[in-house]
């Protein structure tokens, strides 16, 4: 009797245990039903492998760089892509039917660009297709044409399209650079304002002067440049219409007239004037010529720049004893100091998204370009060179150009915004300085 | 006997004066005898202390001096009694003879008187003689009766002795009986004791048996409990093993999750347009070999390039690292979701 009760108890207990396990299993099963979730929060810290297959050509192409080579160079310069050398390609397809995805996958490629150029009279037509190797899909297919003398523009256009298709960002390969060169022969110095493609090609001299030219600044529409010229013997701000070459004095006040910066709407210029005895930041309405004083401090306030939204203003001030970056939330508001930890932070240049601001940053007696995350205040140095100056951010915020010293000579270097890749522009004669990255012209 | 004698005397006293005197004398005699008897009995107690004294000085006490003493005393008493009785009888005989002589003297006197009165009282003399004869007869009778009584008394004493002897015998018998009884009682007690012992032994045996049984039951219970415990322990071990397997699977799963995460991270090129609040969710289905069976975008980031980069990353893996363990694979890796959400953009 006792035994049977005991065993029945044991049975009950066993059943309970079984039940418990069932519940656990069920819960586990339901948990399994809820599915495993793997969260990927970091991507490859590497450039995207892209194959740009040399375009097929029909007809005689102009001499010089081939379109596909320019596209390769563009994509490489961005620092975001790793281009497959054509000699490593297993085949050179120019249209979809010739693309064997397996081959490209074996080569580790993510995207393959194929195309064909056709010469028709003075024009060159390009038909190009971009394939996603893993998904085995065509993600871009277009035709574009240009005059035979302008195939660089065609190539940059294709680069922009490829870039935008893959990254979701507008490409900047068709934008322009403005910069100042200095050529010295004997005791004669010649300053030149030049405009070129962003790869430094097709540069054109817009202004030549024996006196210094400084601080070129692009109008938002990319049609005008503002700069400081000492041609009158003192610093004067000029506005230069690129299409016509027409120049106007925007600011010629007593004392210092410097550091022009366009408002996003192109209606006004920020500038530094010392007409009242001390360098302060002013806003000038270009239509009326009326100036508004935005800072009023015994220290030097200069190098103003609008933020991405055109609401607040970054500037440099030595009110703390040395140059530091300040920010005022709206013109005339009480400035807030942004940079600390270094005795020299200057020439702030914000990106177009409001995420970062770039500036010259002194560390251990050398000058680098630093990037500051405006949300986290995280600061990082993105240049490996020294004596770095004049940062200018690409309109898509993905690249930065600055001037630095190379072999005792000023050169321009393009880096990806995270500093991952650097690309020095081909050396031109003399020193190159004060680069300004032009806007995307639509 | 006395009453009868008195009755007789009283009847006699009413008839004559001389009988009254005679009876009175007789009475006196009897009283004297009784007194003598009483005075005799008194000193009888005297020898006792002597016997006790003798006992006191005797170097070794008699084994049963009390019984012997008693016997001796009794014998003495009997002897004394006999002597006394003998003396009594002698004394009585003398008294009787004296009385006889007295009476004869008186009778002679009387006879003389009567001789004088012979004529007058010849008849009365005759009667008197007759009466005298009768009286003599009666005295004789009385003597005889007395002798008889004495014989009777002797008889009685003898009987008494006999009775006493008998009583002694009886007592002895009784004692014997008592002894026997004692023996029997002892035997009985012994028997009872033995019986009790036997009963006790039996009881003990029974208890022992019960104890053994109980022990066996307890052992059985303990055995059962032990088995149950072992069973429980085994179950717990199994459960633990199951949990361990589960944990192992989870660990495996986590390991493979980490591997997949790593491979996908390496394979993912977040586009430059990516921002930290973009999230694309893809559900992927794998074959047990780790090959991708299918992938679907279940939640778009809102940015085509971002979605494409995620899809491209997922599709770029030729083989997913998955556990060989089929259960683990089925539970975690047959189908799962991958979320692309950049936290650290370049």
Residue-wise pLDDT tens digits, A94-120? 999 999 999 999 999 999 999 999 999
Residue B33: its pLDDT value, please? 64
- Nearest CA to A371 out of A416, A407, A403 is that of A416
pTM of the model: 0.65
Q: Rounded to a whole number, what is the distance in Å from the CA of A216 to chain B's nearest CA?
A: 28
pLDDT at residue A221, rounded to an integer? 94
Q: How far apart are CA B148 and CA B150, in angstroms?
A: 5
Per-residue pLDDT tens digits for A221-236: 999 999 999 999 999 9
Per-residue model confidence (pLDDT) at position B68: 55
> What pLDDT, on the 0 to 100 scale, is given for residue B339?
93
Interface-testing mutation among A23, A43, A75, with chain B (most B C-beta atoms within 10 A): A43
Cα of B302 to nearest chain A Cα, Å: 11
Subunit contact B339:A40, Cβ cutoff 8 A: yes
Here the tokens at position B155 are 């008889």
| Residues B346, B275 contacting (CB under 8 angstroms) | no
Instruction: Tell me the three state secondary structure of residue A365.
Output: coil
Least confident of A68-77, A246-255, A267-276, B181-190: B181-190
Considering chain A, what percentage of its residues have pLDDT values greater than 70? Answer: 92
pLDDT of A17 reads 63
Query: How does residue A273 score in pLDDT terms, banded at 50, 70 and 90?
Result: very high
Bridge-partner residues for A413, per DSSP?
Answer: A402, A424
Tell me how far CA of residue B114 lies from CA of B126, B135, B138, B287, in angstroms.
Answer: 10, 17, 22, 186
Q: B132 or A372: whose pLDDT is higher?
A: A372
Name the residue facing A37 among B239, B315, B337 (closest C-beta).
B337
User: What values do phi and psi take at B312, rounded to 5?
Assistant: -60, -40
Do the Cβ atoms of B265 and A416 come within 8 Å? no
- Determine the pLDDT at residue B10: 46
Hey, are the CB atoms on A44 and B266 less than 8 Å from each other?
yes
Q: A38–B257: do the CB atoms touch at under 8 Å? A: yes
Helix axes A2-33, B122-267, angle to 10 degrees: 20
Task: Tell me whether residues A10 and B274 touch, CB distance under 8 A.
Answer: no
- 10-residue mean pLDDT profile of chain B (346 residues): values are 44 55 77 61 50 48 53 74 81 82 81 78 78 81 81 82 82 83 84 86 88 88 89 88 80 84 88 87 92 93 91 90 86 90 75
Residue whose pair of structure tokens reads 């998955």 in the numeric block: B322
pLDDT at B9: 44
Confidence category of residue A285, pLDDT binned at 50, 70, 90: very high
The closest of A149, A150, A188, A194 to A176, measured between CA atoms, is A194
Residues of A engaging B, defined by a Cβ cutoff of 8 Å: 2-3, 6, 10, 14, 17, 21, 28, 32, 35-48, 80, 105, 110, 132-135, 139, 164-169, 396, 398, 416-418, 420
User: Taking CB atoms and an 8 Å cutoff, what residues of chain A touch B309?
Assistant: 43, 166
- A191 phi and psi angles, rounded to 5 deg: -100, 135
* 3-class DSSP string for A163-195: HHHHHCCCCCCCCEEEEEEEEEECCEEEEEEEE
Residue A384 near residue A422 (C-beta atoms within 8 A): yes
pLDDT, average across residues A414-420: 84
Calculate mean pLDDT across residues A373-397: 90
User: What's the pLDDT at A38?
Assistant: 84
Chain A residue at shortest CA distance from B271: A167
pLDDT of residue B13: 43
- Say if the Cβ atoms of A135 and B344 lie within 8 Å: no
Q: Give me chain A's average pLDDT, please.
A: 89
**pLDDT at residue number B145:** 81
The answer for residues whose C-beta is within 8 angstroms of residue B65's C-beta and 6 or more apart is: B55
B contacts of A420 (beta carbons < 8 Å): 346
Long-range CB pairs of A104-110, under 8 A, 24+ apart, other chains included: A104/A51, A104/A131, A104/A133, A105/A133, A105/A134, A105/B316, A105/B318, A107/A49, A107/A51, A108/A49, A109/A49, A109/A50, A109/A51, A109/A84, A109/A133, A110/A48, A110/A49, A110/A50, A110/A134, A110/B269, A110/B312, A110/B316
The DSSP letter of residue A96 is: G
Provide the pLDDT confidence category of residue A69 given band limits of 50, 70 and 90: very high
pLDDT on residue A170:
92
CA-based nearest residue in chain A for residue B277:
A41
- The three state secondary structure string of chain B is CHHHHHHHHHHHHHHCHHHHHHHHHHHHHHHHHHHHHHHHHHHHHCHHHHHHHHHHHCCCCCCCHHHHHHHHHHHHHHHHHHHHHHHHHHHHHHHHHHHHHHHHHHHHHHHHHHHHCCCCCHHHHHHHHHHHHHHHHHHHHHHHHHHHHHHHHHHHHHHHHHHHHHHHHHHHHHHHHHHHHHHHHHHHHHHHHHHHHHHHHHHHHHHHHHHHHHHHHHHHHHHHHHHHHHHHHHHHHHHHHHHHHHHHHHHHHHHHHHHHHHHHHHHCCCCCCCCCCCCEEEEEEECCCCCEEEEEEEECCCCHHHHHHHHHHHHHCCCCCCCCCHHHHHHHHCEEEEEECCCCCC
Interface touch A169/B273, C-beta < 8 Å: yes
- Compare all CA atoms of chain B with the CA of A37 and give the residue at the minimum distance: B337
- Identify the pLDDT of residue A442: 64
The pLDDT of residue B8 is 44
> How sure is the predictor about A241, in pLDDT bands with cuts at 50, 70 and 90?
very high
Whether A418 and B242 lie within 8 Å, measured CB to CB: no
Of B314, B318, B337, the CB nearest to A35: B337
């Amino acid at each position: 009797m006792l035994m049977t009760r005991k065993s029945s108890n044991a049975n009950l207990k066993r059943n309970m245990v079984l039940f418990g396990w069932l519940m656990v299993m069920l819960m586990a099963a339901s948990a399994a039903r809820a599915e495993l979730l793997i969260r990927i929060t970091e991507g490859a810290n590497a450039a995207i492998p892209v194959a740009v297959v040399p375009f097929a050509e029909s007809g005689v192409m102009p001499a010089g760089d081939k379109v596909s080579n320019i596209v390769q160079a563009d994509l490489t310069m961005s620092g975001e892509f790793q281009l497959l050398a054509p000699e490593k390609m297993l085949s050179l397809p120019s249209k979809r039917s010739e693309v064997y995805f397996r081959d490209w996958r074996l080569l580790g490629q993510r995207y393959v660009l194929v195309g064909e150029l056709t010469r028709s009279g003075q024009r060159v037509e390009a038909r190009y297709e971009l394939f996603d190797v893993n998904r085995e899909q065509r993600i871009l297919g277009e035709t574009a044409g240009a005059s035979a003398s302008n195939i660089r523009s065609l190539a940059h256009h294709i680069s922009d399209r490829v870039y935008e298709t893959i990254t979701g960002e507008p490409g900047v390969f068709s934008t322009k650079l403005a910069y100042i060169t200095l050529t010295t022969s004997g005791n004669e110095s010649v300053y030149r304002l030049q405009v070129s493609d962003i790869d430094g090609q097709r540069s054109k001299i817009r202004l030549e002067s024996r006196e210094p030219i400084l601080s070129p600044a692009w109008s938002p529409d990319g049609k005008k440049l503002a700069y400081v010229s000492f041609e009158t013997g003192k610093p004067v701000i000029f506005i230069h219409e690129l299409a016509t070459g027409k120049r106007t004095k925007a600011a010629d006040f007593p004392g210092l007239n410097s550091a022009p910066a366009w408002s996003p709407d192109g209606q006004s210029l920020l500038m530094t004037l010392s007409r009242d005895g001390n360098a302060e930041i002013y806003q000038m309405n270009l239509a009326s010529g009326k100036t508004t004083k935005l800072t009023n401090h015994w220290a030097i306030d200069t190098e103003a720049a609008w933020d991405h939204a055109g609401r607040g203003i970054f500037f440099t001030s030595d009110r703390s004893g040395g140059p530091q970056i300040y920010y005022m939330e709206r013109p005339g508001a009480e400035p807030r100091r942004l940079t600390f930890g270094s005795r020299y932070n200057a020439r702030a240049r914000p990106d177009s998204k409001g995420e970062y601001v770039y500036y010259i940053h002194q560390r251990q007696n050398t000058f680098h370009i630093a990037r500051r995350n405006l949300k986290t205040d995280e600061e990082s140095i993105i240049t490996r060179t020294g004596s770095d100056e004049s940062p200018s951010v690409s309109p898509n915020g993905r690249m930065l150009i600055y001037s630095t010293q190379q072999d005792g000579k000023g050169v321009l270097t393009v880096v990806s915004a995270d500093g991952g890749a650097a690309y020095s522009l081909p050396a031109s004669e003399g020193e190159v300085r004060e680069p300004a990255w032009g806007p995307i012209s639509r | 006997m006395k009453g009868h004698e008195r009755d007789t005397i009283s009847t006699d006293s009413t008839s004559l004066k001389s009988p009254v005197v005679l009876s009175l004398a007789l009475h006196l005699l009897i009283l004297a005898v009784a007194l003598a008897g009483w005075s005799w009995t008194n000193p009888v107690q005297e020898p006792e202390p002597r016997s006790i004294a003798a006992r006191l000085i005797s170097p070794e006490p008699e084994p049963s001096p009390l019984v012997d003493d008693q016997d001796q005393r009794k014998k003495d008493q009997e002897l004394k009694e006999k002597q006394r009785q003998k003396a009594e009888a002698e004394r009585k005989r003398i008294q009787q003879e004296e009385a006889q002589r007295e009476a004869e003297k008186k009778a002679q006197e009387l006879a003389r008187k009567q001789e004088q009165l012979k004529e007058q009282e010849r008849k009365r003399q005759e009667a008197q003689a007759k009466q005298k004869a009768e009286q003599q007869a009666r005295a004789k009778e009385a003597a005889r009766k007395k002798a008889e009584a004495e014989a009777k008394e002797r008889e009685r004493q003898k009987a008494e002795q006999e009775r006493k002897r008998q009583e002694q015998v009886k007592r002895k018998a009784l004692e014997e009986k008592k002894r026997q009884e004692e023996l029997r009682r002892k035997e009985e007690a012994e028997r009872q004791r033995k019986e009790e012992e036997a009963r006790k032994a039996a009881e003990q045996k029974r208890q022992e048996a019960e104890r053994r049984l109980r022990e066996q039951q307890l052992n059985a219970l303990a055995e059962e409990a032990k088995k149950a415990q072992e069973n429980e322990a085994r179950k717990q071990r199994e459960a633990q093993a199951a949990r361990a397997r589960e944990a192992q699977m989870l660990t495996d799963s986590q390991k493979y999750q980490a591997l997949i995460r790593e491979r996908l991270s390496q394979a993912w090129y977040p586009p430059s347009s990516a921002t930290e609040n973009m999230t694309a969710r893809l559900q992927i289905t794998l074959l047990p070999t780790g090959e991708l069976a299918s992938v679907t975008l279940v939640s778009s980031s809102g940015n085509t390039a971002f979605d494409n980069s995620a899809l491209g990353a997922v599709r770029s893996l030729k083989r997913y690292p998955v556990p060989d363990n089929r259960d683990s694979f089925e539970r975690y890796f047959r189908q799962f979701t991958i979320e692309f959400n950049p936290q650290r953009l370049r």
